[in-house]
Structure 1
Amino acid sequence: MDARVVNRSPDVVSPGLLTRERIVARAGFNRWLVPPAALAIHLCIGMSYGLSVFWLPLSRALSVGKPAPATCPEMGLATALVTTTCDWRVSDLVLVFSIGIVMLGLSAALFGGWLERAGPRKAGLVAALAWGGGFLVGALGVYLHQLWLVWLGMGLIGGIGLGLGYISPVSTLVKWFPDRRGMATGMAIMGFGGGAMIGSPLADLLITHFKGPDSAGVWQTLALMGAGYLVVMLCGAFGYRVPPDGWQPEGWTSPAARNRMITSGHVHLSDAHRTPQFWLLWAMLCLNVSAGIGVLALASPMLQEIFGGALIGRPDIGFGQLDAGEKAQVAAIAAGFVGLLSLFNILGRFFWATLSDRIGRKATYATFFALGCVLYGAAPWAAGIGSKALFVLFFCVILSMYGGGFATIPAYLADVFGTRFVGAIHGRLLTAWSTAGVIGPLVVTAIRQAQVDAGVQGAALYGRTLLILAGFLAAGFVANLLVRPLAERWFMADAGAPSDTAAAGPSGSFGIGRGGLTPAAALAWAAVGLPILWGVWITFGKALILFR
């Protein structure tokens, strides 16, 4: 037996409800109850994309009801962290998001191995305490006007919850759905994209409700949302179940025998990062995310500066010639564009990941990179001929593939490295996301500024930027081509658990056929589905302004 195999004896320290052995599904359990549990957690932590809704109200927290803002122009960062007399700057508040994304990558990488040993329920519990608790600490920081507490709560602690919450369902879902790996992970990771779609309008409503003559309404909103996230994520964590060792869907046979890109073995966590395949997949995710997140960072100004007055029926004037009222109209249309991109980002996570079950993960990523190159290259052409419809369409497809990359990569990892440690391997791979979160916005903003300094305006302003992003995807296409099946020497001789193709252990439907849509499953799906539909409705309503 491989000496590195994790000790699978019962955990005698943790409470019984949290042990991995306690959450092994019994006969009759419906596997379709697991995706809603994962969605419950991802819909909560996905609010990390919507934190910007708090920055403007917080930048005026001390000025509510006063004739002038409490600004301190000479204030340094060290002073900003502890001041109680000066309003915070938006630039200082935005760092909360950066801290959170960095902590997402670090915590996912550091605690992925522990997650595999402890099980998804324990990891989900810690994620709930960190994410919900981070909001509560942030609320205290806002109440006391201590920026360091906001950084600590919503950035550092919340970022740990982000990382653990993000990877907690991956290993569980690919084991429950070996026949539909892409679809299963796509459903969960779609929730992460949809978290802000629900959380942002909810936060707006709560801030408006709590706002008063002497309060911005933010600390109350953070406290209520933090408590709500804690409860919802705990429900998700306690909804997790893992299949019995060796379980496989009734009548299903592994495609490993007919597809060399899908393995029936398992690579140990300590070996995965030593393979060239891991770093090729790391590069693919980093390049795909860098290109997509670069567009998201500049989506609103890009549409405004390229089309200018054409957005409001005045194609004869550029953005710089618009008056204040016209710029406000153009900004509202650009906000609709951002909302539409977010919607395609979410839907793409499910669509592309599900499609990958049919055409394969390698072919799906090849599509992302090849089609992305074409669309990035064609976008300046669409801008040049003044076609807003084509320009918007191109970027909607691009953002769908950006989201699809996130959702497809866990299934790709399971195909290449096996399912035994896929959650932990996925956690380490997410450092590519943290890296891309720096590279993408940095590259596109630097290129844009260079163009502005050179006096470039209108459609030409972003042409070079888009071509460089197309170059990112071309490099990703090459990396994907180089991914090959792993050599036998990388696989564990005995993983301590049967492989995907093993016949040992229980088998059965666990929700296939007649057991699929039970009342419990319908209720669980309604609990997560109705908020998603509400978010889609709100987002679609805002996006309609593009077509008026």
Structure 2
Amino acid sequence: MSPPVAPPGWSRWLVPPAALSVHLSIGQAYAWSVFKPPLESALGLSGTQSALPFQLGIVMLGLSAAFGGTLVERNGPRWAMTVALVCFSTGFLIASLGAATEQYWLIVFGYGFVGGIGLGIGYISPVSTLIKWFPDRPGMATGIAIMGFGGGALIASPWSAQMLKSFGSDSSGIALAFLVHGLSYAVFMTLGVLLVRVPRSEKPVVEARPGPLDGVQVSAKNAVRTPQFWCLWLVLCMNVTAGIGILEKAAPMITDFFADTSTPVSVSAAAGFVALLSAANMAGRIGWSSTSDLIGRKNIYRVYLGVGAVMYLLISQFGDSSKPLFIICALVILSFYGGGFATVPAYLKDLFGTYQVGAIHGRLLTAWSTAGVLGPLIVNWIADRQKDAGKHGAALYDTSFLIMIGLLVVGFVANELIRPVHVRHHIPAPREATDDDSVQPQRSA
């Protein structure tokens, strides 16, 4: 399905809304914690078990982005958005059937496996196109679109909570909420499919090789052979693990933290906290990624990882004594989490060029798959073990937060090791037309 090429005079500012319609939809994944308590109650699940659909969804996001990145580059954003629409919506419908029949494996398969494929293809669907539309401001452009993924829960969290309140939090109510989600997102994502355009110079099927003035250009095949790719993979993995650990368990976490105080957190307030985290996630994606255009990618990741570790330290030491401190630190961590996602395509563009940047981005998102398992596993498994040991409140999370600090330090070191890609990995530029056959083909610098 080749996307329509933009006609003369087409405004490039119409492309980010197309991307937003997809990312705001698939960003519902960040509101999964709203469904955790009802599922645990209705189906008798532990915290670790109720995290499985989310974890598998993130795993499939990274894997489908990695394996589908080249197809997205070849077939264009409209094809990718269509695949994302079908998979993401179908995943909700399967999950609805699973909830209605109380077959939890169907929820895991539908939301996690099928829906996760939609997450991955949908996530990378506009990235390469946006970078080509906005070569002058790549951080800002990808931030605008990718902030939608962070902001999806800002809509989905209160919406899901209200549906569960109206439909009931038993298995039939959860099933109906899943059904409404699937149908609604199918309609909304269709807007992006219809609106997206590629630049007139875009080759929708076979991508042109870079010319002599295009600067550093590295193929996806060569990129994964460089130490820069794997250092950046580690940076993204550590940053995502630290953020997703809070995000996946946000609603029960804030409830646990202040359960023993004189002002416990209600269910509606916990859902509000999830929405606040989504807002920070969204704001970080556009704010921090735009800042990276001014101060550089390495410097902004120093902020994400270094300051993020300090925020975790503050929560672990003083979070249970002050709600404002807990909330502010969590919001900062989630803004860095979102900013890391929005900045990484521009970081890739700086290191490897625009040639096959979408495919390289897809491969890098396997770091997200790994983090999607690590973050929730660390937080949920340790919390379950601490609960079995008779602990409660903030004590359920102390060990997890110290682990997150260590991971952020590892990511900080990996970021410091990133250097420009060696010329041997660059794609040779084509020969220039000249009357002197003795002129040798030049390599991009």
- TM-score normalised over the length of structure 2: 0.83
Number of residues of Structure 1 aligned to a counterpart in Structure 2? 421
Instruction: Select the structure of larger CA radius of gyration.
Output: 1
Matching residue within 421, 424, 428 for 1:486: 421
Deviates more, 1:117-126 or 1:197-206: 197-206
Matching residue within 323, 327, 350 for 1:392: 327
Secondary structure at the aligned position of 2:58 is classed as helix
Residue 49 (str. 1) matches residue 6 (str. 2): no
Deviation at 1:113, TM superposition (A): 0.6
Deviates more, 1:219-228 or 1:277-286: 219-228
Q: Contact (CA 8 Å) 1:170, 1:410: kept in 2 or not?
A: yes
Give the counterpart letter for 1:415 in structure 2: D
Residues 441/129 of structure 1: CA separation in 2 closer, same or farther (3 Å cut): closer
Who is 1:70 aligned against? none
Distance 1:493 1:278 in 2: 20
Distance 2:358 2:139 in 1: 14
Q: Contact (CA 8 Å) 1:307, 1:383: kept in 2 or not?
A: no
Q: Contact (CA 8 Å) 2:217, 2:352: kept in 1 or not?
A: yes
Give the counterpart letter for 2:306 in structure 1: A
**Equivalences for residues 398-477 of structure 1 within 5 A:** 398-445=333-380, 462-477=397-412
Cα deviation digits, residues 99-158 of structure 1 (max 9, x gap): 222211111111111110111111111111111222233334445555444343322221
Give the counterpart letter for 1:264 in structure 2: G
Residues 265/244 of structure 1: CA separation in 2 closer, same or farther (3 Å cut): farther
**Equivalences for residues 323-402 of structure 1 within 5 A:** 329=265, 334-383=270-319, 386-402=321-337
Deviates more, 1:366-375 or 1:273-282: 366-375
Who is 1:37 aligned against? 18
Matching residue within 229, 242, 247 for 1:278: 229
Deviation at 1:426, TM superposition (A): 1.0
Cα deviation digits, residues 276-296 of structure 1 (max 9, x gap): 001000000011111112233
The alignment's C-alpha RMSD in Å is 3.3
Residues 394/93 of structure 1: CA separation in 2 closer, same or farther (3 Å cut): closer
Cα deviation digits, residues 77-115 of structure 1 (max 9, x gap): xxxxxxxxxx57466554222222221111111111111
Residues 41/336 of structure 1: CA separation in 2 closer, same or farther (3 Å cut): closer
Who is 1:502 aligned against? none
Distance 1:452 1:146 in 2: 27
Identity, % of aligned pairs? 51
Who is 2:183 aligned against? 227
Residues 390/332 of structure 1: CA separation in 2 closer, same or farther (3 Å cut): same
Residue 241 (str. 1) matches residue 197 (str. 2): yes
Secondary structure at the aligned position of 2:201 is classed as coil
Deviation at 1:208, TM superposition (A): 5.1
Give the counterpart letter for 2:11 in structure 1: N
Residues 419/146 of structure 1: CA separation in 2 closer, same or farther (3 Å cut): same
Q: Contact (CA 8 Å) 1:60, 1:88: kept in 2 or not?
A: yes
Unaligned runs of 5+ in 2: 204-212, 432-445
Deviates more, 1:225-234 or 1:480-489: 225-234
Q: Contact (CA 8 Å) 2:157, 2:271: kept in 1 or not?
A: no
Deviation at 1:28, TM superposition (A): 0.4
Who is 2:172 aligned against? 216
Distance 1:155 1:490 in 2: 36
Unaligned runs of 5+ in 1: 1-17, 62-86, 248-256, 258-262, 313-326, 497-548
Deviation at 1:340, TM superposition (A): 2.7
Q: Contact (CA 8 Å) 2:308, 2:333: kept in 1 or not?
A: yes
Matching residue within 19, 22, 27 for 2:2: 19
Distance 1:344 1:272 in 2: 32
Deviates more, 1:149-158 or 1:345-354: 149-158
Residues 57/395 of structure 1: CA separation in 2 closer, same or farther (3 Å cut): closer
Q: Contact (CA 8 Å) 2:57, 2:119: kept in 1 or not?
A: yes
Residue 138 (str. 1) matches residue 108 (str. 2): no
Distance 2:218 2:52 in 1: 37
Q: Contact (CA 8 Å) 1:420, 1:495: kept in 2 or not?
A: no
Secondary structure at the aligned position of 1:483 is classed as coil
Deviation at 1:206, TM superposition (A): 4.2
Deviation at 1:486, TM superposition (A): 0.7
Give the counterpart letter for 1:239 in structure 2: L
Deviates more, 1:188-197 or 1:220-229: 220-229
Residue 155 (str. 1) matches residue 112 (str. 2): yes
Q: Contact (CA 8 Å) 1:58, 1:216: kept in 2 or not?
A: no
- TM-score normalised over the length of structure 1: 0.69
Deviation at 1:234, TM superposition (A): 2.1
